Structure 1
Amino acid sequence: MAAPAPATPQHEAPSYRLQREQGFRWLNFSPELEVAYRRAPKPMTDHQSNVALFCGLVIWLAFIGMDVIRLQDRATDLFSNPRLLTLVQVRITVLMALAGCWLALLQTDPRFKRPWVVAGMLYLLTLGGTISNDTHAALGTPHENNVLILLMVVIFLPLGLRLKEATAVAVLCLVSVLLVSLANHPEGQRESIFYRLFYLLVAACIGGMGAYLREYAQREQFLLRAELEWLARRDALTGLHNRRAFNEHLELALSVGRRDNQPVALMMIDADHFKLYNDAYGHAAGDHALQRLAEVLQSLCRRPLDHAARTGGEEMALVLYGVNATQAQGLSEQLVQRVRALALAHKASPTAEHLTVSVGCAISLPLEEGKSLYTRADALLYQAKRQGRNKAIADIDALSSSAQRPTERPV
């Protein structure tokens, strides 16, 4: 009798591991991972953007104070000088916008999307700073040309914007600076516009390089954390959930079942004479057999609350949500039949010529806890083993009591 094929490599790697191996030089994941990355909570980034907006508010107030000092001799010309009036309007408009959006973000108002608010404030600061500097230049008062360079670097700081978003804001700011500068500088003085844009572009390149390296590291950390969390809750050989995840999920399923008046079926599965199988064919073939069994269990998980786990060695478990008596019996027998259909030769088995399983199926009772349900299912499993193995035994009494609960689950 031919021996089974040797074990294949471990279960298929999770998508985040594949993504990490393939790389992401353009800072893009696969569509599913990209959605998960963007939805991942970033409380530290939120805090940083709040602090940055507050600092921007304080700095803008400081510039207003400097304007008061620099222009105190011209206060009487406020309403007669259009440039002075424009300067005051710009300062007040930006100040009010900064204060309003900062307060809105502190209250996590859902009407304010954080990236849009941050982008708007950065643009508003750049535009306001450009107009203010050009106005001071026209008035012949001291002004800070380097402020715009600092703002261009600030756009790429970790304020909640991804690199592509920050780059879009930077391009929009550069175009706006160009247009405002062309409007405010006479044709004979426009040489300075070239130098202004050149320095701003250099600052944007430096800031963009730093933002790229930072986002790349953040994305890599996201993939590594996701992989570690996956490994902490999965069995490395089969890819099924491990015992820890099984215990947590069983309690969750029972809790939801009590709330919705739905039964939960727990199947305990044991590969018959598996030690003899390993002795006859080797541990590599045994690993392959467990992987095939895991595939059968996974094929029976059809609902979000269904759960397949490897609880230890050759023992596995299956949690099925919302089953009635007929469905529970049918699914248990179907599981045994599907394992038979694998036709994994087992010449050392006294039960059959191929690998078989024994199954104990218990249905949750009202208000039952996970430990009690597990104990009943485990007892039924050993009852099936005592009765010759290669079969499924269900708790008939519990099945009868659950038959009245409404379910819509196909077998």
Structure 2
Amino acid sequence: MIAEKSPAWEAEYDTVRDLLGQSFMRLRFPKMLERDYRRTMDARALETMRDNYWMLFLLALGAVLIVYFQYTVGGVWIGAIEDLRLSVLMTLCLVSVLALFTVMVKIPSFDRHYFTYTTLFCVIMLLFLAVFPAYLRDEVLRQRSTYLVIYLLMIVYGVANLRLHQAAFIGFAGMGSVVLAVMALDVRYDWGMFMQFFFLTNLVGVGNSYVVEVRERRLFLQSRLLDLEKRQLNKLSERLVQLAREDGLTGLANRRHFNDRFLMEWERARRDGKPLALVFADVDHFKAFNDKHGHLEGDRALVAVADVLKSVATRPGDLAARYGGEEFVLLLPNTTCEGAVELARELIQGIDDKAIAHRGSKVAKHVTISAGVASMVPDVHIAPAKLIDLADEALYAAKHEGRHRVVVSTTC
């Protein structure tokens, strides 16, 4: 028999094990795994932001508190009114962007554009937080405003569950946008402070994101491995069940499975008052076939006979089984003697059409079978074995009468 081709998930199992065995993990899997990982992480990032969007409002609250304490606790200086107006404007812009972002996060139709609008809003907020303070006259307020940039970048790199390249893109795109905006506006800017709070925060964030992503990728692979091992166990379990019910050579039901199904169909037919039929079939002069052609050819002949049985037992309730050796049986629920005889004749004709050479046969030059048919409506006073005995007796009569024929039980 030809071995089945291994399914794709078995190859994936080996790939996952190899990846987990690597001491240094690259931040990219083979195509299919990478696609599934990205889908998983994107969905997690969106879910995280939906559940924790309140953290963004802590950012806005921080901006409000900085402005509040600066102008209520601090002293009065020249230009305080201008700084106050600018601080309020920055806060309003920040809160507006955060509010719009929160609304979009909550709308499912925007999910596929999550990274796009997240990048846009984060860059805009970084521009507000980095450029607006450049116009402030008070140095203390300017320095305090930079804390909000650090806080936002911490959210991007550490809380938002973004992948490394996504978080790094937002962080460095924001930094580049600030540089371009400052150059375009020709505003006086403290580049030393910029490098401290922006560039260094990005570097630390990238390092942290790398560690987190390596961990997340390992967890993803471990979860995937567990799922694949579960599949493997399920397949093994199904295979064991199949082996317990199936004949290894022919692929038909084995005798144990036939006995179980027969008793079940017997009880069903008894309850419904419907007939149940059996067709017993036996390969004629099979021992002589093995002697003349060899056991390997004998096995091939049995497989060919089994194929014909499968083609005959086409209804959902029909069952074709190997009863033992060269003997086969058809279990036919809701079938009268006439219907069973018709199927038995189709079976004999189908095997004749195969024209498998049989030099040891005294009936024909090719492999033939004999068949016995019995059918009855089960009753509580009749043992199930009675129907089997009747079909077996009919088969014996077919052999006694010359083989290569169908004999019907006398009770039909």
Q: Same fold (TM over 0.5)?
A: yes
Structure 1 residue 351: Cα displacement: 1.3
Do 1:347 and 1:353's aligned partners in 2 also have CA atoms closer than 8 Å? yes
Residue aligning to 1:382? 396
Residue aligning to 1:302? 314
**CA–CA separation in structure 1 for the residues paired with 2:40 and 2:8:** 27
Cα distance, 1:256–1:19 mapped onto 2, change above 3 Å:
farther
Give 3-state SS (helix, strand or coil) of 2:329's partner. Answer: strand
Residue aligning to 2:158? 195
**CA–CA separation in structure 1 for the residues paired with 2:299 and 2:152:** 75
Q: Given the alignment, which residue of 228, 242, 249 partners 2:240?
A: 228
Residue aligning to 2:92? none
Structure 1 residue 365: Cα displacement: 3.3
**CA–CA separation in structure 1 for the residues paired with 2:42 and 2:273:** 52
Residue aligning to 1:286? 298
Structure 2: which 5+ runs fail to align? Answer: 15-35, 61-128, 130-147, 161-208
Residue aligning to 2:385? 371
Cα distance, 1:250–1:163 mapped onto 2, change above 3 Å:
farther
Matches within 5 A, 1:4-403: 9=1, 18-20=5-7, 23=10, 25=12, 170-176=44-50, 179-186=53-60, 188=148, 189-193=151-155, 194-197=157-160, 198=209, 204-367=216-379, 368-398=382-412
Do 2:278 and 2:340's aligned partners in 1 also have CA atoms closer than 8 Å? no
**Number of matched pairs:** 251
**CA–CA separation in structure 2 for the residues paired with 1:383 and 1:271:** 14
**CA–CA separation in structure 1 for the residues paired with 2:383 and 2:37:** 49
Do 1:170 and 1:204's aligned partners in 2 also have CA atoms closer than 8 Å? no
**CA–CA separation in structure 2 for the residues paired with 1:22 and 1:222:** 13
Structure 1 residue 177: Cα displacement: 5.7
Cα distance, 1:364–1:24 mapped onto 2, change above 3 Å:
farther
Q: Which amino acid aligns with 1:387?
A: E
TM-score, normalised with respect to structure 2: 0.56
Residue aligning to 1:150? none
Structure 1 residue 21: Cα displacement: 7.6
- The structure showing larger relative contact order (alpha-carbon pairs under 8 Å, at least 6 residues apart) is 1
Runs of 4 or more above 6 Å deviation: 162-166
Do 1:267 and 1:318's aligned partners in 2 also have CA atoms closer than 8 Å? yes
Structure 1 residue 278: Cα displacement: 0.6
Cα distance, 1:232–1:168 mapped onto 2, change above 3 Å:
farther
Q: Which structure has the greater CA radius of gyration?
A: 2
Do 2:273 and 2:377's aligned partners in 1 also have CA atoms closer than 8 Å? no
Q: Root-mean-square deviation (CA), in Å? A: 2.8
Give 3-state SS (helix, strand or coil) of 1:185's partner. Answer: helix
**CA–CA separation in structure 1 for the residues paired with 2:281 and 2:304:** 14
**CA–CA separation in structure 1 for the residues paired with 2:355 and 2:224:** 53
Structure 1 residue 291: Cα displacement: 0.5
**CA–CA separation in structure 1 for the residues paired with 2:42 and 2:374:** 58
**CA–CA separation in structure 2 for the residues paired with 1:170 and 1:312:** 57
Do 2:374 and 2:408's aligned partners in 1 also have CA atoms closer than 8 Å? yes
Do 1:364 and 1:373's aligned partners in 2 also have CA atoms closer than 8 Å? yes
Cα distance, 1:287–1:209 mapped onto 2, change above 3 Å:
same
Q: Deviations over 1:122-142 (max 9, x none)?
A: xxxxxxxxxxxxxxxxxxxxx
Q: Which amino acid aligns with 1:196?
A: V
Structure 1 residue 312: Cα displacement: 1.1
**CA–CA separation in structure 1 for the residues paired with 2:346 and 2:305:** 13
Do 2:337 and 2:374's aligned partners in 1 also have CA atoms closer than 8 Å? no
Cα distance, 1:389–1:164 mapped onto 2, change above 3 Å:
farther
Cα distance, 1:372–1:397 mapped onto 2, change above 3 Å:
closer
Give 3-state SS (helix, strand or coil) of 1:262's partner. Answer: coil
